[in-house]
Amino acid sequence: ADIDEMKLIGSTCYSAGASVTDTTAKRGKASTLSQSCIVLDYDGNDTVDVQVVVDELTQLNITAIIYESWSSKGGNRFRIIIPFGFEVIDHALKVQAANFIINQLSFGDYVDDCSFKWYQLMLPPMYHLHSKPRAWFVNGEPLSAFMDEIDKVK
């Protein structure tokens, strides 16, 4: 899929779920009502390769959008967006599901701790000076198809 088709470009940031819309509300856990997906933020070194993770998600049959961060050098910094398939209102379930994914992918040590926050805002893909950021779409199942396995993660 083309990055423009993914509709992630154009806003200053995004939150993966429903939030309080009162303009006086501050960003934070209390203002986040639900999460509709997991966003894993990989900040790797030269050994990290986004294509390996794309291939692993494909083999696992997990739906995902992956895009390179603006600071990536050869695919070592990227974000993975994985839909739940329903709205999650329990922070513990989000953490469990994130660990379910990370435990099955290479380079899990490079997932930033912000990926586990209930209220984390993320920046959308940024255009590089001379090119669009690279992006991948993996056809598969949302996390709702893996709930039995996710329930077993501690």
Mean pLDDT of 36-54: 89
Single out the residue of 70, 69, 87, 86 nearest to residue 78, CA to CA: 69
pLDDT at 20 over 90: no
- pLDDT tens-digit readout, 78-123: 889 998 988 888 889 999 999 999 999 999 999 999 898 877 666 6
Considering the chain, what is the average pLDDT of its residues? 79
CB 138 within 8 A of CB 54: yes
Structure tokens that stand for 99 in this block: 């660990």
Q: Which pLDDT score, from 0 to 100, does residue 89 have?
A: 87
> How high is the pLDDT of residue 2?
46
Q: Is 116 helix (H, G, I), strand (E, B) or coil?
A: helix
Mean pLDDT over 23-38 rounds to 67
- As a whole number, mean pLDDT of residues 139-150 equals 95
What's the token pair of residue 87?
């709205």
Contact predicate 46/73, CB 8 Å? yes
Model pTM?
0.80
> Which residues sit opposite 81 in a β-bridge?
39, 65
pLDDT of residue 12: 42
